Each structure stands twice: as structure tokens, then as C-alpha cells.
Structure 1
Amino acid sequence: MVAALGLACVLGIACALVETWDYLLLLRALLGLALSGLPALAMAYVGEEFDPEALPAAMGLYIGGTALGGLLGRLLAGLLSDIGGWPLALGGIAGMGLLALALFIWLLPPSRHFRAQPLSLRGLLGNFGQHLGNPQLRALFLLAFLLMGGFVALFNYVGFRLAAAPFGLSSTLIGLLFTVYLVGIVSAGWAGRLVPHFGARQVLQGGIGIMLIGVALCATPWLSAVVLGLALFTLGFFAAHAVASGQVGQHAKGAKAQASALYLCAYYLGSSVVGYAGGYVWEHAGWLPLLAVLAGLFLVAGWWARRL
């Protein structure tokens, strides 16, 4: 994790120094590859180092941290960009990454339950096959695909909706709507603490139900209702994501880092596929059909969660 964060910081600073689009695109791609080494390992670390009873709450806190990072990244990048352009925005975020790396090295306790395994392609493929053969993990991977895909699709295109009639909001006001991520910070930890009392499946389905209510409110022509809908949608998503990601570590029978990597692969694959497909629906059919498609995806996710 230290190596992944360190490499990401170096690449982030390099992004602020280049002057051509091609090099910027290449460095951003490498930055994404470097960062991918952190979340899968972090989820595995939480799964290995915490007692099973404390795992849901711990994973909820971790997911809440990702929500805070997403919010700060959007807001600070916009602020720094207004001050000094995109180079300062990228460089400033990379500088914050260096500070985070120093705190990470200082504060994170060393792993006590990690067991090293020999590195071989055959072993890696065998672990992947074992995880994909686990019906519980397959259900979690599909949930990650559907939930993250729908979340990204809604936030990708709600800005276009709010910029058009009858709302006509400015880009600044639309950007401020991302402060609804704050409710995700709260709901992720809250959902983790509910799992020992109600069970993972019930809390997960409850989060999906709240997402559906949020989608319904986003279909209204009233700004206050749309803002409330986005807040509920975000609350439900981070609650469901916290529970699902926490279950990966509990159901993986060894090689937890690879199980987490598969979950995150499905998670980001959903953001790419559904995020792009949502744009096609928005462009050719409009806002309400897009919401109907997303509601259908979340209904499938709620039904699939019964397998847990």
C-alpha cells in the first residue's frame, strides 16, 4: 500500500508538470493503475486485522473515508483550479497525497495476521477461480457492478438535467451538490454498525430501497425534491457499498486481497459500462427513461441480494 501511494503521488506531481494532452492522458492512466493497489489491499487488511464482530463497522468507516475523499477531491480541485488553473489543481491534490502518505506510514499498525504466499501465476489464477466459484462472492461482485454503475450514471448526468429548464443552475451550484457525499460518510459507518443487529442482507436491501426512493424524487420537477433525492440516493449507496464490501472479506476463504480486487474490478467496471450506457439513454431518450433504467438495475440488485 505504501508503494502504491508513493508511486501515485509521484505520478500526480508529474501530471501537473506536463504540457501536452497525450502525456497527461498517459500519466493519468498510470496514476489509476498505481492507485488500484491501495483499495483492494486496504479491504484485505481490514478483513484480516479486525475481529469478525468489529469488521462491518470498521469497513463502514473505511468506506466513509472514501466518500470524504471523493468530496474533497471534487471541491478542492475546483477551488485550486479557479486560483491557478488545472496544473495547480492536480499538483495540489498530489501534494495532499504526500501528506496522506506520511500520515499513513506513521499511523497504520503493522499487519499481525498476514501470511505470505508464494507468488506464481498458477496460484493467482487458482485463487481467482476459487473466488469466482463461490456463489456468495459472485453475488457481491454483481451487486458492486450494478450499484456503482447506477451511482456513477446518476451523478454523471444529473448536472445536465439541473443546468437545463426548469432549473437552470450554474456550474458552481451544481458542483456544490456533491456535498451530499457528506451523508455517505455518515451512512457507511451507520450501516456497518447495523449489520450485527439486523444481518447483512437486510441492511443491504434497506440501502438499495433508500436508493430507489432517491431515484423517484429525482424524477420530480422541484429542486428541493431533487436535492433530497440525491441525498437519500447517496445515503443508500454508501450504506449498501459498505455492507457489500465488508462481506467480501468474510466470505473469501483465503487470498482476501484477490477477492477484494475482484470486487473492485466489478465495481469500476460497472461505473464504466453503466456510466457510458446511461449517457446513451440520456442522449436518445431523456432524463425520466434514464431514471427508469437505473431503478430497474437497483430492483435487480435488491432481488440478487437475497442470495446473501
Structure 2
Amino acid sequence: MDDARLRGALLCGALALFALLYAPQPLLPRLAEEHGLAPGTAALVISAATFGLAVAAIPLGTVAQAVGRRRIMIGAVLLAEALALVLPWLPSFPLLVGVRLVQGVAVAGVAALATAHLAEESGGRGIGTAMGLYVAGSALGGMTGRIVGGVVGDLAGWRGGLLAVAGLSAAFTALFVALLPPERHHRRQPLRWRPLLGGLGAALRDPELRGPYAIALLGTGAFATVFTALPFRLTAPPFLVPPALAALAFLAYTAGTATSALAGRVADRWGRLPVLLGGLVLCGAGLGLMLGDVLALVLGGLVVFTGGFFAAHAVAGAWVGARAPEAARGQAGAVYQFTYYVGTSLGGVLGGAAYGTWGWTATTALLTGFLLLAALAALRSSPGRRAGARSVPAGGAAAGRTAG
């Protein structure tokens, strides 16, 4: 019963937080027009939040080992929601960016702890399936925030769009607080920095974890670039799609919701490496479809790309949760989230700048390079390709099977 409550709570938390995190993305063209900004500058509204998340991930993951994860997660969700209600009333763009930075720190209070919390409280049972469900919630939350924000923003301005998403997220925030069960298995460590930092060092030194970290950095950089540049591309020639309709392109996230949950189950049974590489291949195929100026192919490619990315992300996150030793599990999850959101921040700003400077074709070539490097990192980190690496069960139904 507690396992079901835990999964339901983290699903609601992911829905609330990722809706808030990405709600401004379809509103970037409106913000750029109102404040006279270039695409890369307007993207700071997204990148500031993801940068705050990245910076806070490791400290929060470390402190949570001592004070408990539940307390931090509940406080973080409540703070993120409170800031969401403030954002639409801020009078200047720099202040908006600053508050978004703090909101990203709050989001880290769940995002940086979810992998470790799931692995610890479930006892490793079906970690791939549980992580897939959490990632599905993050995909659905990101999609909902973007669509609601974009559609309402086209009718009521960007402030109205942000308020609509804040109201929706408030309901999921209440469910998260009500459902999240007390911790059963977490062993708190005294807040002594030497052993806590030792766990962080172990998480950084493990060569098998470097693959998931690289996938988080490079894969997410590609993903953030696509979704930052997309509103500008669809509303410009030759497409000239109205902003409200352009926001519906984020329905592609439904593919991520489906593939992340499916990828977790398949990886539990057959191992992580084939599923992870398959996800990256789908990302590359999606980029190829988006190269042309045919709207149907662009949207179809976006669906393929999104499905592939979330499949790879779910498997990489579960890999970290299963591989990391108990004493460093929180820190390993935090390092994964750090690299993930550094990738998001850099992808948002650099990707927006690349698209504004060189256009879509050159940006696609850059992202293809990111995906190839991510695949190489996964291959090099696979225990089957490393002499002497210890086996790690994929989790759930595959307990005892060598990962990868």
C-alpha cells in the first residue's frame, strides 16, 4: 500500500513541478516581443530555473542524507507553488529571471531526491518500472504546463498563461503532500561533511555511472535545444503557425509519457543498454524528420524525438538508482540531476543562440553530435564492456540479471 502511495505521490509531484518549470517555454516569443529580446536572451527564463535546479541538486541530495528526504520534498513543492503565484506580477524581466532561479532551486528538492527515494523506499523492487512512472509524470507535467501556458497565454497574455498553470499545479501539490508516506527505510547520517562528501566522491568516481551522467548532460542538451527553438521556428516563416496552435506541438510529450514507462519495464526484463541505445537512435531519427519544411514531418519527427529521449532518460535514471551504493545513493541521484539540468540550461541558452545565428540545419548537426557522444559514453560504461566491473541487477523482474 505504501509503495502505491509513494508512486502516486511522486507522480503528482512530478506533474506539479514540471508543469511549473516549463510553463514559460511556449510564451518565449511573447516575452521576447514585449521586452525586445533575442531568442537566446528570452530563453533565460527557462535556463535560470534549470540552472538553479542544477546548482541545488548536489547540496540538497547531500543534506537529505542527514535530515530526511520527505521533509525537504514537501517544503520544496510548497515553495515552488508559492513562487509560481508571484511570477505573473513581477514588473521586470531581470526580476522574473531571478525568481525563476529560486524556483528552480525549489524544484530540485524533489527532482534531485526522487531516484534515491524510490530506490530506498521500494527496496529495489521494480525500480525500473517505478522510475519510468516518475519520468512519465515529469513528461506529462512538462507537456501540460507548456500547452496550458501556451493556449491561455495566447488568449490572456503570458501572465494569464502562468497563472493558469499555477492554479493547475496547486491541485497536484495538495495531492503530493497528502499522499507522500513517511520514510520507512532511510537511515539518516549525521550532518558531518566528510562522510557525506565521501559519498559524493564515490558517486563521481564510479566509472559505470559516468555513462548515465553523460547521457543526462548531452541528451538533455539536445532536448532543451529542440523545445526552446521550436516555438520560434513554428511561428516564423514558412510555417507561420499561431502561438496557441504552436503550443499544441507539445502534445508530443505524450510519446515521452508512454515510452518512459514502457522503457522501464523492458529494461527490467532485458537490460538497460539496448533500451538506452534504442532511445538515442529514435532521437536521431526524429531530428532527421524535422529537417525539412513540411509541417507534418516536423511534428512527426518531434514525437519520435521526444519518445526516444524520455525512454533513454528513464533507463539512465534507473541505472543510477540501482548501481549506486546505499551510502552514496542520494549523492549519485543528485549528480545525475545536476548533469541533467546543466544540459537543460546550456541547451536552452546555447541552443537558442545557435538557432538564432545559424538556423535549424546547423543546429541539427550539433545535436546529432551530442547524441553520438552520449551513445559512446553508454557503451564505454556498460559493465559487459568493462573488465572486472561488478554486475548490477536491472531491478524488478530482472533481479539478478547483469545490467546492460
TM-score relative to the length of structure 1:
0.93
Q: What is residue 304 of structure 1 aligned with on the other side? A: 377
* SS of equivalent to 2:354: helix
Shift of 1:51: 4.3
Shift of 1:17: 4.0
Q: What is residue 306 of structure 2 aligned with on the other side? A: 234
1:115-130 matches, within 5 Å, as: 115-130=187-202
Deviations 1:49-79 (A, max 9, x none): 2243511011001000001110111122234
Q: What is residue 69 of structure 1 aligned with on the other side? A: 141
Equivalent position amino acid for 2:358 in 1: A
Find 1:167's aligned residue among 239, 254, 259: 239
2:222 matched to 1:150? yes
1:20-169 matches, within 5 Å, as: 20-82=92-154, 84-169=156-241
Deviations 1:104-154 (A, max 9, x none): 122222221111011123233222111111111222111100000000111
Matched-pair contact (CA < 8 Å) for 2:267–2:275:
yes
Matched-pair contact (CA < 8 Å) for 1:16–1:87:
yes
Q: What is residue 41 of structure 2 aligned with on the other side? A: none
Q: What is residue 269 of structure 1 aligned with on the other side? A: 342
State the distance in 2 between where 1:223 and 1:14 align.
37
Shift of 1:298: 0.6
The verdict on how the C-alpha distance between 1:118 and 1:234 changes in structure 2, with shifts beyond 3 A counting, is: same
Matched-pair contact (CA < 8 Å) for 1:217–1:229:
yes
Q: What is residue 283 of structure 1 aligned with on the other side? A: 356
Q: What is residue 31 of structure 2 aligned with on the other side? A: none
Shift of 1:82: 4.7
Structure 1 stretch displaced more, 116-125 or 202-211: 116-125
Deviations 1:250-270 (A, max 9, x none): 111123222111111101111
Find 1:176's aligned residue among 228, 239, 248: 248
2:331 matched to 1:258? yes
Equivalent position amino acid for 1:163 in 2: T
Matched-pair contact (CA < 8 Å) for 1:141–1:267:
yes
The verdict on how the C-alpha distance between 1:115 and 1:290 changes in structure 2, with shifts beyond 3 A counting, is: same
Equivalent position amino acid for 1:302 in 2: A
Find 2:292's aligned residue among 220, 224, 238: 220
Equivalent position amino acid for 2:365 in 1: A
TM-score relative to the length of structure 2:
0.72
The verdict on how the C-alpha distance between 1:274 and 1:88 changes in structure 2, with shifts beyond 3 A counting, is: closer
Equivalent position amino acid for 1:3 in 2: G
State the distance in 2 between where 1:185 and 1:51 align.
24
* SS of equivalent to 2:282: helix
Matched-pair contact (CA < 8 Å) for 2:151–2:244:
no
Shift of 1:20: 4.2
The verdict on how the C-alpha distance between 1:98 and 1:175 changes in structure 2, with shifts beyond 3 A counting, is: closer
Shift of 1:101: 2.5
State the distance in 2 between where 1:164 and 1:91 align.
26
State the distance in 2 between where 1:278 and 1:145 align.
14
Deviations 1:189-215 (A, max 9, x none): 000010123210110001001111101
RMSD of the TM alignment (CA)? 1.9
Shift of 1:297: 1.1
The verdict on how the C-alpha distance between 1:8 and 1:282 changes in structure 2, with shifts beyond 3 A counting, is: closer
Equivalent position amino acid for 2:232 in 1: F
Equivalent position amino acid for 1:104 in 2: F
Structure 1 stretch displaced more, 108-117 or 274-283: 274-283
State the distance in 1 between where 2:235 and 2:94 align.
31
Equivalent position amino acid for 1:151 in 2: F
Identity percentage over the alignment?
39
Equivalent position amino acid for 2:314 in 1: A
Q: Which stretches in structure 1 are left out of the alignment for 5+ residues? A: none
Matched-pair contact (CA < 8 Å) for 1:60–1:190:
yes
State the distance in 1 between where 2:229 and 2:200 align.
35
Matched-pair contact (CA < 8 Å) for 1:53–1:196:
no
Matched-pair contact (CA < 8 Å) for 2:135–2:314:
yes
* SS of equivalent to 1:36: helix
